[in-house]
Amino acid sequence: MKTAKPIAADTHHAHAAGHVHSHEAHGDDSHHDHADHAHSTPASAEAALALADEYCRERGEKLTPIRRKVLELLLTSGRATKAYSLRDDMRQIHPGSAPPTVYRALDFLLSAGLVHKIESINAFAVCHDLTQCQHGILVVCQQCGNVTELHQPALREALVAQIENAGYRLAGDGIELKGLCSACQAAQAAGS
């Protein structure tokens, strides 16, 4: 099953096998202006923020206003976003905010399991399931930076087992695969 769902629309329990979740990355030359989102957050993003807030409370932690705003920016962008873009967006919303504020918020969101760091493109994306049942496998397009999260627990467990049987231990929760997305494949075929 290969369907892509918008990031903010599918933040409730997405435990079904075969779940695919796509995030486009902000490249160095594409900056999405989030200023319009500062006052109007879609209902699905609000629901996701409420779920994240509840999840943090259950863990004995707090989704502070800055952490919440960074998560909201990621949710409303619908894309994997680089830290400097988030920093710039926060400066538009809160002109006096210091750059370390965004990085500390991202560190918290990462440790809470609410976002992924996509190492190969150095960007951040909201986890497909804000309750952190288990992270999926991230597939990153090497050409455009599009990121798709595959949520197939059995496949992930089998892959982790094979990695451990080979004598390795994963350095983190993330498993990233590199490839070429269907849009880039089509563009490449059209250019040939």
Taking the C-alpha atoms of residue 92 and residue 14, their distance in angstroms, rounded to an integer, is 33
Q: Given pLDDT bands bounded at 50, 70 and 90, which one contains residue 1? A: very low
Could you write out the three-class secondary structure of the chain? CCCCECCCCCCCCCCCCCEEEEEEECCCCCCCCCHHHCCCCCHHHHHHHHHHHHHHHHCCCCCCHHHHHHHHHHHHHCEEECHHHHHHHHHHHCCCCCHHHHHHHHHHHHHCCCEEEECCCCEEEECCCCCCCCCCEEEEECCCCCEEEEECHHHHHHHHHHHHHCCCCCCCCCEEEEECCHHHHHHHHHHC
Count Cα neighbours of 16 within 13 Å in the Cβ-side half-sphere.
Answer: 10
Q: Given pLDDT bands bounded at 50, 70 and 90, which one contains residue 35? A: very low
* pLDDT beyond 90 at 174: no
Instruction: Confirm whether 162 is domain-assigned.
Output: yes
Instruction: Confirm whether 141 is domain-assigned.
Output: yes
* pLDDT beyond 70 at 37: no
State how many domains the chain has. 1
Residue with the bigger pLDDT between 43 and 24: it is: 43
CA-based nearest residue to 11, from 85, 105, 74: 74
State the chain's mean pLDDT as an integer: 77
Residue with the bigger pLDDT between 43 and 184: it is: 184
Instruction: Confirm whether 2 is domain-assigned.
Output: no
Instruction: Confirm whether 149 is domain-assigned.
Output: yes
Percent of all residues in the chain with a pLDDT value above 90, rounded to a whole number: 38
* pLDDT beyond 50 at 192: yes
Instruction: Confirm whether 9 is domain-assigned.
Output: no
- Find the domain containing 89 and state its range: 19-26+35-191
Q: Domain of 77: which CATH number?
A: 1.10.10.10
Instruction: Confirm whether 5 is domain-assigned.
Output: no
Which region holds residue 108: left if phi is over 0, alpha if psi is between -120 and 50, else beta? alpha
Rounded mean pLDDT, 159-177: 90
Rounded mean pLDDT, 95-123: 89
Q: Is the separation of the CB atoms in 23 and 146 below 8 Å? A: yes
Instruction: Confirm whether 1 is domain-assigned.
Output: no
Residue with tokens 């932690």: 61
* pLDDT beyond 60 at 115: yes
Q: What is the pLDDT of residues 5-33, one digit of tens each?
A: 333 333 333 333 344 555 555 443 333 33
CA-based nearest residue to 126, from 12, 2, 1, 3: 12
Instruction: Confirm whether 186 is domain-assigned.
Output: yes
Please report how the helices 99-111 and 65-77 are oriented relative to each other, as an axis angle in degrees rounded to 10: 80
Tell me the chain's radius of gyration from C-alpha atoms: 17
